[in-house]
Amino acid sequence: MAVPVYFVGDTPQGPRLYREFRTVEDDNPLEEAVALMTAGDAEDPDYRTAYPGGSFSSVSFDGDRFVVEVPDDGWMAPGDLSEDEATLALQQLVYTVQGVQQERAPVEVVLDGQATFLFGEDTEGGVSNADPLDVLALVNVTTPEEGAPVSGSFTASGVASSFEATVPWQILTGSGDVELEGFATAEGWMDKLYPWETEIDVSSLDPGLYTFVARTDDPSGGEGGGPTEDTKVIDVS
């Protein structure tokens, strides 16, 4: 089954979470998705994990909350993580398990059956998902996937919170030259990330590898650090 797994990527606002859909076995998708998350096993090389290494013992959902068990106290203290990095690591877990289960339930991390801290963050009573505009990248490409083969035309899609719902896109050569460009229109903006989708004709391109880039619109001209972007390599035939 296809499940969303959240990874960390760099944005003008600092590290944020990007969503990547992955295929896992359907016998225990929660545990498999979280294993990919903690390992940083992303298809997109621009993504990574906030976790310093290791894994959880188990992940389950009891209908009211997610229970995530750690094998020992190694992740209780923040270690080398800053407060912001620790918060993002916890939200990486929260958004991943909620996305897999399609339930906005709180997440509690336990050790020997008792609620505990994760990187210095108290999870007793359950941790809810933070405001998406505070922790998610403001644009995220769902399709095409990294390395996807395309021919003739393809559908580009994703989510964004971009000025006036405008999502500019480009197709770049390996040297960074712009071959094609345009924009998609999202279903909304400002209060959350909204879906966007557009059809792109690549029949004029020579076969080879290109980079598809989707960005937030930046009316400030870079004064706010520039647009957020997400990139995917595509293989045009």
**195 touches 145 (CB < 8 A):** no
Where in the sequence of the chain do the CATH 2.60.40.10 domains occur?
A: 139-236
Q: What is the pLDDT of residues 166-225, one digit of tens each?
A: 999 999 999 999 999 999 999 999 999 999 999 999 999 999 999 999 999 988 776 767
Checking if the pLDDT of 111 tops 70, the result is yes
Strand partners, 59: 68
Q: How far apart are the first and last CA of the chain?
A: 28
Where does 139-236 sit in CATH, by number?
2.60.40.10
Q: What is the pLDDT of residues 29-68, one digit of tens each?
A: 999 999 999 999 999 999 999 999 899 999 999 999 999 9
Return the structure tokens found at 44. 């997109």
pLDDT for 225:
77
Supply the DSSP string of 149-206, one letter for each residue: EE-SEEEEEEEE--GGGEEEEEEE-TT--EEEEEEEE-S--SSS-EEEEEEEE-TTSP
